[in-house]
Amino acid sequence: MGGTAVVVGGGIGGLAAAIGLRRIGWDVRVVERAATLADAGAGISLHANGLRALDALGVGAAVRSAARPQYTGGTRTPGGGWLARMDGAALERALGTPIVGIRRAVLHRLLRAALPAECLHTGVTVPALDRSAPDRVGVPVGDAVLDADLVVAADGVGSRLRGLLFPGHPGPVYAGSTVLRAVTDRALELSGDFELTWGGGAEFGHIAFADGRAEWHAVLTAAAGVRHDDPLGMLRRRFGGWHDPVPALLDATRPKDVLHHDIHELATPLRSFVAGRVALLGDAAHAMTPNLGQGACQALEDAVTLAAAVATEPSVGSALARYDAERRPRSQAVARAARQAGRMGQRLSHPLAVALRNTALRLAPSRATTRAILRHADWTPPSLG
């Protein structure tokens, strides 16, 4: 079955979906509202499931060679004591790869490079879809209308298309935490590739990159919408007494590079990822809290699964039914687990609860961390032929 598809949204999920559909022979357009295609976020960690999905899309090797494997690190207390160690070598033995860290802008560039420039339409917001015909969907793009057999709504957590297709759904909600993050402007000597540190109601973490620089993130329980005149100054006051390399990471950052976002999630799961000939994908379908580092990995799984279903099913209808059946339970389970990880991690603030959690983590066998990662990362993509 060949056909035409329009992907709304040129984030990681949308670009991956476009690559997958092109690989099975479909004619694909990506429509993105931003004038320039780039992911403004700082860095990202990719687990084996995300990397395997990228392999299936033909870009895994390029991403691996630009990324830094995360062999060492783990979870710490603000004083520097270890709660759990991450064993990247054990993950590599079990899954063929440790977690890797990469700048979002680099990942985005590599995904874009796998698509011909003429299939990307930037600076265009898709306001709605014309679903009046049973066998086509009309996608308004400026003054023109693109006709498609299939539309992929990959328009992110605030998805306008989800709101139109599922008007009864309450939409995303504030998850109660806000995140400030940046990439350092220089390389640092870091003893761990990947670390998370939990204080009461606060988390500080870093991911080291191949060029020696690192992304750091600080997550705080806070009211939505609170912003700071001097975010870096606020973070220095809040985290200045935490263990090395937390102050060093803040010191190696230019104030203008600090991004600040409130975290939103789809707390009410969608009852379907499909409406007629439209498939929701990525954060539009299952925006989750970032506590497991799985949001983009799940979007990449969506993309490969969708392309495989479209390649093998006799009709768009049966392909989308299969996509929904294969993706909804898994991605929604990962989203639930991410929320729970946040409750037990960054969001835990009562001193007694924090002490109990820390004791339980210190007593847990060292392979417990590896097992927790394997639970979500050990996924095998369907073949795209």
Give the one residue of 6, 18, 28, 31 binding ligand FAD; rule: CB under 6 A: 31
Helix or strand or coil: residue 249?
helix
Give the one residue of 5, 12, 63, 275 binding ligand FAD; rule: CB under 6 A: 12
Question: Per CB under 6 A, does 10 bind ligand FAD?
Answer: yes
Question: Per CB under 6 A, does 126 bind ligand FAD?
Answer: yes
Question: Per CB under 6 A, does 215 bind ligand FAD?
Answer: no
Stretch in the footprint of ligand FAD (CB under 6 A) among 29-37, 196-204, 266-274, 325-333: 29-37
Least separation in angstroms between residue 74's CB and ligand FAD is: 16
Q: Which is nearer to ligand FAD, 1 or 124 (CB)?
A: 124
Q: Which is nearer to ligand FAD, 293 or 342 (CB)?
A: 293
Q: Which is nearer to ligand FAD, 94 or 139 (CB)?
A: 139
Question: Per CB under 6 A, does 45 bind ligand FAD?
Answer: yes
156's torsion region: left (phi>0), alpha (psi -120 to 50) or beta?
A: left
Residue for token pair 């783990």: 74
| Binding positions for ligand FAD, 50-89, rule CB under 6 A | 50
Give the one residue of 75, 97, 177, 294 binding ligand FAD; rule: CB under 6 A: 294
Question: Per CB under 6 A, does 151 bind ligand FAD?
Answer: no
Element (H, E) at 248: helix 246-251
Q: Is the dihedral of CA 219, 223, 229, 233 positive or negative?
A: negative
Q: Which is nearer to ligand FAD, 85 or 260 (CB)?
A: 260
| Both structure tokens of 104 | 């979002």
Instruction: In whole angstroms, give the CA distance from residue 161 to residue 248.
Output: 43
Give the x/- contact pattern for ligand FAD in 162-201, rule: CB under 6 A: -----------------x----------------------
Element (H, E) at 153: strand 150-153
The upper half-sphere exposure of residue 84, i.e. CA atoms within 13 Å in the direction of its Cβ, equals 25
Residue 163's contacts (CB-CB under 8 Å, 6 or more residues apart) are 169, 171
| Both structure tokens of 304 | 């490969």
| Binding positions for ligand FAD, 298-317, rule CB under 6 A | 299
| Both structure tokens of 244 | 């090395």
Dmax over CA atoms of the chain, in Å, equals: 63
Q: Which is nearer to ligand FAD, 12 or 266 (CB)?
A: 12
Instruction: In whole angstroms, give the CA distance from residue 269 to residue 312.
Output: 27
Element (H, E) at 63: helix 60-66
Give the one residue of 9, 60, 345, 381 binding ligand FAD; rule: CB under 6 A: 9
Question: Per CB under 6 A, does 33 bind ligand FAD?
Answer: yes
Question: Per CB under 6 A, does 8 bind ligand FAD?
Answer: yes
Instruction: In whole angstroms, give the CA distance from residue 185 to residue 262.
Output: 24
Question: Per CB under 6 A, does 290 bind ligand FAD?
Answer: yes
Instruction: In whole angstroms, give the CA distance from residue 384 to residue 326.
Output: 15
Binding site residues, ligand FAD, CB under 6 A: 8-14, 31-34, 44-45, 50, 125-126, 154-156, 160, 179, 217, 261, 263, 282-284, 290, 293-297, 299
